[in-house]
Structure 1
Amino acid sequence: MALPNREGQTVPNVTFRVRENNEWVNVTTDEIFKGKTVVVFSLPGAFTPTCSSTHLPRFNELAPVFFENGVDEIVCLSVNDTFVMNEWAKDQESDNVRLLPDGNGEFSDGMGMLVNKEDLGFGMRSWRYSMLVKDGVIEKMFIEPEVPGDPFEVSDADTMLNYINSNAQPPRVATIFTKVGCPFCAKAKSMLEDNNISYEEILITNSGVTSRTLRAVANAGTVPQIFIEGEYIGGSDDLEAFLAK
């Protein structure tokens, strides 16, 4: 039986049991969706490989662009309890996404997306999909194909962003290797910030990520060393020349 596409229908009326500040809180679908534009992506389970490595991090990374294009909130839903989802949130880059526990599978069942994954020892879980919901009404759904395993082809963040605005530009992201007290590192970070390029900073120390790591990655012994979207840029002067282009 084909999984249903519920475009044009309202989302299921469900109350989620959520743990916040060591207290139980009831969150209704009205609170989440009423009068708002919401992107939802649902997945088989917290801490599972594709969900952790790609699905959630990319939605979190693109969240500012979604918000610039009229989305009020991004919700990640899984048939897990609230304790699991809260721990997963701590483990992930998820500051821009609300992780919602569909512990009893009621929302997923109401969507027609509750599937049996007992072959993996999971029991009943959500099929992977994403949707755009406006004031509680589903405008668009991207449902993964019904093939064995855990397909991940259409419910990704970039596909949803392209649907909302095909001209939207994903933000550029950088990785910068630095050392404490390095003035050229401070200059490079300032240049990245001035150009609205978010960055991950990796500190070179005597333990953990060392100068040997830096040589292996960038074939360089000085800091900063900068990569933008995976492209090696070089030091602060190289960054300045790159941005001037």
Structure 2
Amino acid sequence: MALENREGQRVPNVVLRVRKGNEWVNVSTDDLFKGKTVVAFALPGAFTPTCSSSHLPRYNELAPVFKQHGVDDILCISVNDTFVMNAWAEDQEAENITMVPDGNGEFTDGMGMLVDKSDLGFGMRSWRYSMLVKDGVIEKMFIEPDLPGDPFEVSDADTMLDYIAPGAERPKAATLFTKPGCPFCAKAKQMLEAAGIAYEEIEVSKKGVSSRALRAATGRDTVPQVFIEGAHIGGSDDLEKWLHTHK
């Protein structure tokens, strides 16, 4: 399988059919790339494991950092129809990513990245790659190696960010265990927001995580319990002290 690096060339000129609201819209590659600095990453399929667990979420997470360093838009390209791509974006809460449904594979074929994944029941799909495109011209490509399966080594968001802005600081991420109506939980969320730290909230309740699970995960029964980058910080007072020492 020949996977051609197309640095220095223009992106393919195609028109894609996109569903926005209740209407069909034609979106051209000029609409997506002309006059802009764009990071695009392509993957084999929406809702597939690596794409959902790593590829898309990390680009979504790092989008503010990319934009601080001159990137106007981040595109996710897949040989899927627009309904699937829209549903995936909603499921992943990928509000920072523009989904590009290459349902007929025309863009992917024009990039020389259309591959046969019939062994998986997928038919023709995109090889995994990423690229930096300036005003429609490809400046840099990171193409996954031609190996069996679905390699994911170089098209990730961190590799692209290192190319665009070496040494750029990554945003910290937090996980927050809370209970409804807890004033200390509200305080912890306010502190995280003020510090610019994105957080995932996990509710301890009959509908959410149990108190037993909270105790197993943290060794404590009280909320909030805050983790930052996987490290257990503690409650709201502990978080306040941590933020003070990490200014």
Tell me the TM-score normalized by structure 2. 0.97
- 1:181 CA drift (Å): 2.0
Aligned to 1:12: 12
Give me the whole-angstrom Cα distance separating, in 2, the residues matched to 1:21 and 1:133: 28
Aligned to 2:155: 155
Matches within 5 A, 1:1-245: 1-245=1-245
Give me the whole-angstrom Cα distance separating, in 2, the residues matched to 1:67 and 1:191: 24
* Regions of 4+ moved over 2 Å: none
3-state SS of 1:67 partner: helix
Give me the whole-angstrom Cα distance separating, in 2, the residues matched to 1:116 and 1:207: 43
Give me the whole-angstrom Cα distance separating, in 2, the residues matched to 1:111 and 1:135: 16
- 1:2 CA drift (Å): 2.5
Q: Please, which runs of 5 or more residues in structure 2 have no aligned partner?
A: none
Give me the whole-angstrom Cα distance separating, in 2, the residues matched to 1:192 and 1:229: 13
3-state SS of 1:200 partner: strand
Give the AA of the match of 2:33: F
Give me the whole-angstrom Cα distance separating, in 2, the residues matched to 1:14 and 1:193: 41
Comparing 17-26 with 124-133, which one deviates more in the overlay?
Answer: 17-26
Q: Please, which runs of 5 or more residues in structure 1 have no aligned partner?
A: none
Q: Is the 8 A contact 2:7 2:138 kept in 1?
A: yes
Q: Is the 8 A contact 2:38 2:132 kept in 1?
A: yes
Give me the whole-angstrom Cα distance separating, in 2, the residues matched to 1:207 and 1:190: 24
Residue-by-residue CA offset, 1:39-92 (whole Å, 9 max, x unaligned): 000000111110011100110011011111100000000001111111111211
- 1:133 CA drift (Å): 0.3
Give me the whole-angstrom Cα distance separating, in 1, the residues matched to 2:238 and 2:88: 38
Give me the whole-angstrom Cα distance separating, in 2, the residues matched to 1:217 and 1:2: 48
3-state SS of 1:208 partner: coil
Tell me the TM-score normalized by structure 1. 0.98
Give me the whole-angstrom Cα distance separating, in 2, the residues matched to 1:20 and 1:183: 39
Give me the whole-angstrom Cα distance separating, in 2, the residues matched to 1:177 and 1:123: 42
Residue-by-residue CA offset, 1:124-179 (whole Å, 9 max, x unaligned): 11000000000000000000000000000000000001110012111001011111
Question: C-alpha root-mean-square deviation of aligned residues, in Å?
Answer: 0.9
Give me the whole-angstrom Cα distance separating, in 1, the residues matched to 2:51 and 2:214: 29
- 1:225 CA drift (Å): 0.3
3-state SS of 2:63 partner: helix
Q: Is the 8 A contact 2:202 2:208 kept in 1?
A: no
Give me the whole-angstrom Cα distance separating, in 1, the residues matched to 2:80 and 2:189: 39
Number of aligned positions between the proteins: 245
